[in-house]
Amino acid sequence: MPDSRVAILVPGRISPRVTERLSERFELIAVPHGTELALSPQEAERVRGVAVSGQLTADWIAKLPHLEMIASFGVGYDGVDVHAAAARGIVVSNTPDVLNDEVADTTIALLLNTVRQLPQAETWLRQGRWASEGPFPLSPLSLKGRHVGIHGLGRIGLEIARRLEPFKVRISYCTRRPRTDVSYAHFPTLLGLAEVVDVLISIVPKTPETIGAIDADVLRALGPRGVLINVGRGTTVDEPALIAALKNGTIAAAGLDVFTNEPQVPKELIDLPNVSLLPHVASASVPTRNAMADLVVDNLISWFETGRALTPVPETPQKA
């Protein structure tokens, strides 16, 4: 007997919790994530919702004539063509807030790892070098007395700033418009921020304005004691310029959780001694990813039960 439930398309990989919970209420149509939409015309006609982690192109959206709702797994939703969705009156949701704390915690850990070289120190111990060669060399950098600039003071950026306050560092930030609920110094330009701070933490989404924003000029302004931490999007940083800056001492160190062409990380970055690298794990704990998965599912349930998404993105409409 044909399934009469609402059909939800799941292209490619997503948290198993999403598919487990969705299958209790919806018909799931799982397809590989590729350049072509591997759906029959009959299946495409039935699809009314999408649960996706990653890209959903305008071409895919165009092939789903009855699509109403796209639930994107993650706070960033730059992989979904929201303009194509908005043009069709399709609502897009994301998963904000539930990952703020985890990403902020990871950011602080990555900053400490970078300035104090803690991963290298652990490796020194594990390799037996403490016993055979003596203490691990003193870290050339410290967080003490630093001035930290935050590139993007949204929900996660604000949580990062609050965690930094007990470290007794100065905090400034760069956004298009100043916030009225914080006392940190505001800089309207990234270059202006980089000129006065010696740690730059980037936590901005991928937009035309942020692509390549941290370039050779910004790195030069950050200076030879400068430390760059990127937990936002890999595309924000000009990777060749960063590699050059790390090699020639333009800046002192960098800690990166995101990269331009994930999961491909330039070997030049991997080989550098003054870099701390993570494989895009800022939100990657079981509790946080489960909360994100639940919000994906709850958005779809809410939409098809009430006509309203729980966390719609601002670019797409919502029924009254």
Choosing from 262, 268, 289, 315, the catalytic residue is: 262
Q: Which of 169, 202, 173, 204 is nearest to 187 (CA)?
A: 173
177 is catalytic: no
233 is catalytic: yes
83 is catalytic: no
| CA–CA distances in Å: residue 159 to residues 166, 284, 291 | 13, 17, 18
Phi then psi dihedrals of residue 55, to 5 deg: -90, 140
Choosing from 46, 48, 151, 233, the catalytic residue is: 233
Structure tokens at 251: 């800046």
CA atoms within 13 A on the CB side of 297: 20
Q: Please name the residues in contact with 39: beta carbons below 8 A apart, sequence gap of 6 or more.
A: 9, 29, 31, 47, 63
Structure tokens at 226: 């400068």
Choosing from 280, 289, 305, 308, the catalytic residue is: 280
CA atoms within 13 A on the CB side of 213: 28
Other Cβ atoms closer than 10 A to 60: 26
Q: Please name the residues in contact with 213: beta carbons below 8 A apart, sequence gap of 6 or more.
A: 151, 190, 204, 236
User: Quick one: residue 223, left, alpha or beta (phi over 0 = left, psi -120 to 50 = alpha)?
Assistant: left
Instruction: Return the active site residues.
Output: 233, 262, 280
